[in-house]
Amino acid sequence: MISQIKNGLIIAAGKGTTRLKRLLELKPRVNLRSMNTQNRNVSNQPKIIAVGHRGTKKFAPENTLASHEAAYALGARAIEFDIRCTKDGHFVLMHDGSVNRTTNGRGRVKNLTLDQIKLLDASIGTAPEFAGEKVPTLREALRNVKGRFIVDLDFKGGPKNSAEILANILQEEGFASGQLVTIFARRHHFKMLQSLCPQYALRPHYISVKKTKILSTTFPLEIMGLRRLSFSFKAARAIHSANLHLFCNNMGFSDNERGYRDSVNAGALFIQTDHLDKLVPYLEKLDLLQTAMLDRNYQPIDIHKT
């Protein structure tokens, strides 16, 4: 599959930097006949959004514009950004607290300025054609995906006024209305980010049936994440009973047909994966793949008319 994707890339070199120039239309190549897609009756089930985890770290440097382009070509219509704040107050896309693993630099994001981070090569450990890929700012990433992807912000950390900063960025970049933006808020960040709700869809993780009831009656929530480690149909029923959309995280040991089948049967509206080349054809075979973007009311938007 990697070789097929590489052959679908047209690479242009300039000023010593090899950059992704264009992704040809890309269809995952898997043996659909071998898939076990035995599910409950899905004839009335809404189409499901395939969510690219960090873009698609399987085929491009994670959390880069190149990974977002690859994810789109593979069929994702939602993209997850990990965001952290620099020393001088700029949000950038970075999963880890430090830049050590994914770039040629060293140091913690919060101790580095944006100028320092912009000097780094974010292609470490990936294919040579991605050499020189940069760490994008949140603004750059939003501009790149606008009108094509649902945005899912995974807030990793920032200053006490992070909600205000994010609200300003989303407003200035044209995301305050129209297309759907979800924001993953961990328990220790929920209070910091709660002012972003309901303009944006705050997405906490499922903890328990009781906690789901409390959160859904206390805050204007619309969506809740369910990690694979916490997965059960009881948990899914609790989320639906609270009138919340189900966002299933399948990364890890169940990022496979079994996990996808469970997520479908649990009534997921979103399934996040590291293997878009497996999830997308699985959903296509069931005629459940959402190929449109969703608006703020979770209704499909024709991306060709935006």
Kindly report the CATH number assigned to the domain that includes residue 205. 3.20.20.190
Pull the structure tokens for residue 173.
């970049």
Nearest to 191 by CA among 168, 153, 216, 161: 161
The pLDDT confidence band at residue 305, using thresholds 50, 70 and 90, is: low
Eight-class DSSP state of 295 = B
pLDDT band of residue 105 (cuts 50, 70, 90) is very high
pLDDT at 88 over 60: yes
Predicted pLDDT of residue 44: 74
* Structure-model confidence comparison of residues 10 and 152, the more confident one: 152
Chain segment 142-163, per-residue pLDDT in tens: 999 999 999 999 999 999 999 9
Q: What is the mean pLDDT of residues 93-118?
A: 97
How much is the pTM?
Answer: 0.87
**Per-residue pLDDT tens digits for 174-187:** 999 888 999 999 98
Give the pLDDT score at 41.
58
Query: Is the pLDDT confidence value at 93 over 90?
Result: yes
d(CA 13, CA 108): 30
Indicate whether 26 belongs to any domain.
no
Alpha carbons 179 and 177: distance in angstroms, whole number? 6
Inside any domain, residue 207: yes
Say if residue 10's pLDDT is above 80: no
Q: Is residue 41 part of a domain?
A: no
Q: How far apart are CA 280 and CA 283, in angstroms?
A: 5
On the question of a cis peptide bond just before residue 136, with omega within 30 degrees of 0, the verdict is no
Of the chain, the percentage scoring pLDDT greater than 70 comes to 85
Helix, strand, coil percentages in the chain from 3-state DSSP, rounded to 5: 35, 25, 45
Say if 237 falls within a structural domain: yes
| CB-based contact 86:109 (threshold 8 Å) | yes
Summarised one tens digit per residue, pLDDT across range 215-267 is: 999 999 999 999 999 999 999 999 999 999 999 999 999 999 999 999 999 99
Token pair recorded at residue 195: 């002012």
Residues 6+ apart with CB under 8 A from 220: 197, 198
Question: Which pair of tokens denotes residue 246?
Answer: 């189900």
Q: How many residues does the structure list for the chain?
A: 306
**Cis peptide, bond prior to residue 198, ω within 30 of zero:** yes
Query: According to the model, what pLDDT value does residue 38 have?
Result: 59
Domain assignment of residue 263, yes or no: yes
The Cα 166–Cα 183 span in angstroms is: 10
Q: What is the pLDDT of residue 302?
A: 72
Q: Which domain holds residue 93?
A: 47-295
pLDDT(32) > 50: no
pLDDT at 209 over 90: yes
DSSP category for residue 271: E
Domain count, the chain: 1
- Which residues have CB under 8 Å from 243's CB, separation 6+? 216
pLDDT value for 131: 94
Q: Is residue 3 part of a domain?
A: no
- Asked if the structure places residue 51 within a domain, the reply is yes
* Lowest-pLDDT choice from 33-42, 101-110, 192-201, 266-275: 33-42
State residue 50 phi and psi, 5-degree precision: -85, 125
**Span between the terminal Cα atoms of the chain, in Å:** 31
**In this model, does residue 26 exceed pLDDT 50?**
no
Tokens of 234: 């009881």
Q: Which residue, among 249, 224, 219, has the nearest Cα to 239 in the 3D structure?
A: 224
Q: Is residue 8 part of a domain?
A: no
Read off the tokens for 113.
């300025």
How many helices (H) does the chain have, and how many strands (E)?
10, 13
Asked if residue 284 has pLDDT above 70, the reply is yes
pLDDT at position 40: 58
Q: What are phi and psi of 152, to 5 degrees?
A: -120, 110
Q: What angle do CA 277, 281, 282 make, to 5 degrees?
A: 110
Q: Is the pLDDT of residue 27 over 50?
A: no
